[in-house]
Amino acid sequence: MFRNREIRQFAIAFAIITAAAAAAGFYMNPAAGGLALVCAAAFGAAFFVFTRARYKRIAQISEQIDLVLHNTDHLFISEAEEGELSILQSEITKMTQRIREQNDALKKEKGHLADSLADIAHQLRTPLTSANLILSLLENSPDENERKQFLRETEELFAQMDWLLSSLLKLSRLDAGVVMFQNGQIEVDSLINTALRPLFIPIELHSIELKIDVPRGIVIRGDAGWLSEAIQNILKNCIEGAGDHGKIHIMCEDTPLFTGITLHDSGAGFDKEDLPVLFERFYRGKNTGTAGYGIGLALCKTIITRQGGTITAKNHPQGGAVFSIRFPK
């Protein structure tokens, strides 16, 4: 306690004042001098006891802070009745709770990262194994047409891996917060056409009937490039769901509260157990084809929600999947 400079200064000043008062008291009257010494001793003892208890309480709080810094799971801080210490105790309790919550979140994120890395390794291992198998068949195949077919299949596998790695990189950039979204005006019909442009060939190959009901002049705010990619991922899902000779219907509604984009395919829709987790990363669902990685819809949701929008998925009463995107005004 006396290592504190302020306490030492106070003790010295108190001793000087006590000596002066006692000397003055003895000079005037011995009884007054004695009374001054007794009062000074009583006050000094009371101050010493109070200050010692205060420092003991501060030492206990310091020990608790040290436990917090060493990630103690069970922490107990008793109630403090004194003003300043009560405030300090309250702030330490809040700090402890925040640290504990952040620690739990980090543990969950670490577990999620480990699971994600294992899933990524599995996702990459499958096409790599297939590519190695095809290359070995290619080496031993004398037929030129068969060799060309093997080369096309290998190119498709490497294209899938390239898409997977590219999507994972985009997700990691979004998670890290390094992506700066533009906030410009976007015409919805232009956005839909941009998203559809790379998909016209697969739509034609699958003989899918495409219907677009998007009035001109409807505008939303956001990043055209990223939103186009999000809608394109939904359209890919719709193409896969609709299948050969299926239908895809794209609609847009503009209300005083929001602008909505709806995409409906004529496929089988989703299983009920898939709907709550449809946008989770690496979730592929029971009826997903082997080409799916469970990344596209997760990336799509991240892009839309980071720009203030929402996206939901459900089954249409008359069949097929329905994706609804809304941007509030």
pLDDT tens across 64-81, in order?
777 766 666 555 555 555
DSSP string, 131-182: HHHHHHHHHH---HHHHHHHHHHHHHHHHHHHHHHHHHHHHHHHHHT-----
Residue 46: exposed, middle, or buried by beta-carbon count in 10 A (0-12, 13-18, 19+)?
Answer: exposed
- Through-space distance between the first and last CA atoms of the chain, rounded to whole angstroms: 63
Q: Is the pTM of this model over 0.75?
A: no
pLDDT of residue 312: 95
Q: What is the mean pLDDT of residues 85-94?
A: 71
Which of these, 292, 294, 300, lies nearest to 325 by C-alpha position?
300
What does the H/E/C string look like for 248-263? EEEEEEECCCEEEEEE
3-state secondary structure of 209: strand
In this structure, is the dihedral angle defined by the CA atoms of residues 204, 241, 281 and 122, taken in order, positive or negative? negative
CB 185 within 8 A of CB 219: yes
For residue 191, the model assigns a pLDDT of 95
Tell which residue, 191, 176, 318, has the closest CA to residue 259.
191
CB 164 within 8 Å of CB 121: no
Query: Quick one: average pLDDT of 211-228?
Result: 94
Question: Tell me, what's the pLDDT at 295?
Answer: 81
Fold (topology level) of 184-328: Heat Shock Protein 90 (3.30.565)
Are 311 and 301 spatial neighbours (Cβ–Cβ below 8 Å)? yes
* C-alpha–C-alpha distance, residues 158 and 164, integer Å: 10
Q: What is the pLDDT of residues 21-49, one digit of tens each?
A: 777 776 777 777 777 777 877 877 777 77
Rg value, the chain, Cα: 36
Q: How many CB atoms lie under 10 A from the CB of residue 292?
A: 19
Q: Does domain 116-176 have CATH number 3.10.180.10?
A: no
Q: What is d(CA 133, CA 303) in angstroms, rounded to the nearest whole number? A: 36
Q: What are the structure tokens assigned to 42, written together?
A: 């009583």
Alpha carbon distances (Å) from 224 to 1, 176, 264, 279: 66, 21, 22, 21
pLDDT at 280: 85
Here the tokens at position 276 are: 């709550």
The residue to which tokens 């985009």 are assigned: 170
Burial class (CB in 10 A: 0-12, 13-18, 19+), 226: buried
The pLDDT value given to residue 175 = 78
Q: In this structure, which amino acid lies at residue 307? A: Q
Calculate mean pLDDT across residues 203-207. Answer: 93
Q: Please say if the pLDDT value at position 290 is more than 50.
A: no
- Assess contact for 303 and 230: CB atoms under 8 A: yes
- Tell me which of 202 and 134 has the higher pLDDT: 202
| φ and ψ of 260, to 5 deg | -120, 140
Cβ burial, residue 238 (10 Å; 0-12/13-18/19+): buried
pLDDT-derived band at 291, boundaries 50, 70, 90: low
The per-residue pLDDT of the chain, averaged, comes to 81
The beta strand positions in the chain, using DSSP E, are 184-187, 209-213, 219-222, 247-254, 258-265, 310-315, 321-328
Residues in the chain: 329
Average pLDDT over residues 53-61: 72
Does 316 have pLDDT greater than 50? yes
Q: Is 207 helix (H, G, I), strand (E, B) or coil?
A: coil
Query: Percent of the chain scored above 90 by pLDDT?
Result: 33
Residue type, 204: E
